[in-house]
């Protein structure tokens, strides 16, 4: 895949990859005749991932700013982080194993886009592993401001990559379901 399209550097995906985006722009998705439960569910899952990531970042910021003390922090942080990372990992596993192959079979022109999204999953997984490592370091030394800073930076990178990926994925997936109908990818 072209380095210009790497998740950490791109600012969206070009029209030749998201070729259905022009025919099915974001503003008209929910009123399209083919917008159904799967489209709605996909968008809901993505919004949940965005919200869970933001909630974890808020907990980290609250700890760093002194709004949560070292005793209360692990009880709020660990379950929120585990939920977010588990949800994210599970979502990507289902996409890679089930949905992305179905989209590729549905329309071979979509292969480049799904190659890009799968490469994103690898980049996100690497950021996820860095986030887990920094979270362990933070929990092992709650009094060390550097550990909190290191984790905050790792979490911010993961969130930034994830938000870009989710938006780009929606630009490929939702127009494809609108174009071809949800039944063809179930």
Domain boundaries, the chain: 33-184
- The tokens for 150 are 């290191």
The answer to whether residue 133 scores a pLDDT higher than 70 is yes
- pTM confidence score: 0.92
- Distance, in Å, from the CA atom of 157 to the CA atom of 52, rounded to the nearest integer, reads 15
- Distance, in Å, from the CA atom of 37 to the CA atom of 77, rounded to the nearest integer, reads 32
Does 33-184 carry CATH code 1.10.150?
Answer: no
- State the pLDDT at residue 32: 95
Any residues with CB less than 8 A from the CB of 163 and at least 6 apart, and which? 50, 53
Q: What is the mean pLDDT of the chain?
A: 93
Express each pLDDT in 46-63 by its tens digit: 999 999 999 999 999 999
- State the pLDDT at residue 147: 94
CA distances (Å), 67 to each of 57, 63, 93, 138, in order?
13, 6, 36, 17
The confidence band for 185, taking pLDDT boundaries of 50, 70 and 90, is confident
Handedness of CA 162, 163, 168, 169 (dihedral sign): positive
- State the pLDDT at residue 1: 58
Express each pLDDT in 140-182 by its tens digit: 999 898 999 999 999 999 999 999 999 999 999 999 999 998 8
Specify whether the CB–CB gap between 21 and 15 falls below 8 A.
yes
Alpha-carbon radius of gyration of the chain: 18
């Amino acid at each position: 895949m072209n380095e210009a399209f790497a998740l950490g550097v791109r600012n969206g995906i070009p029209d030749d990859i998201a070729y259905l985006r022009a025919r099915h722009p974001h503003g008209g998705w929910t009123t399209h005749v083919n917008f159904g439960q799967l489209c709605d569910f996909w968008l809901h899952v993505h919004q949940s991932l965005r919200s869970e990531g933001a909630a974890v970042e808020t907990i980290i910021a609250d700890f760093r700013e002194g709004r949560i003390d070292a005793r209360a922090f692990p009880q709020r942080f660990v379950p929120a982080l585990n939920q977010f990372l588990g949800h994210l990992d599970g979502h990507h596993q289902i996409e890679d194993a089930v949905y992305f192959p179905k989209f590729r079979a549905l329309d071979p022109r979509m292969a480049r886009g799904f190659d890009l999204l799968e490469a994103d999953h690898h980049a996100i997984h690497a950021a996820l592993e860095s986030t887990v490592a920094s979270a362990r370091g933070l929990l092992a030394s709650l009094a060390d401001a550097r550990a909190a800073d290191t984790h905050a930076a790792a979490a911010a990178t993961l969130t930034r990559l994830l938000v870009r990926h989710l938006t780009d994925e929606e630009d490929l997936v939702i127009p494809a379901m609108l174009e071809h109908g949800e039944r063809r990818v179930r």
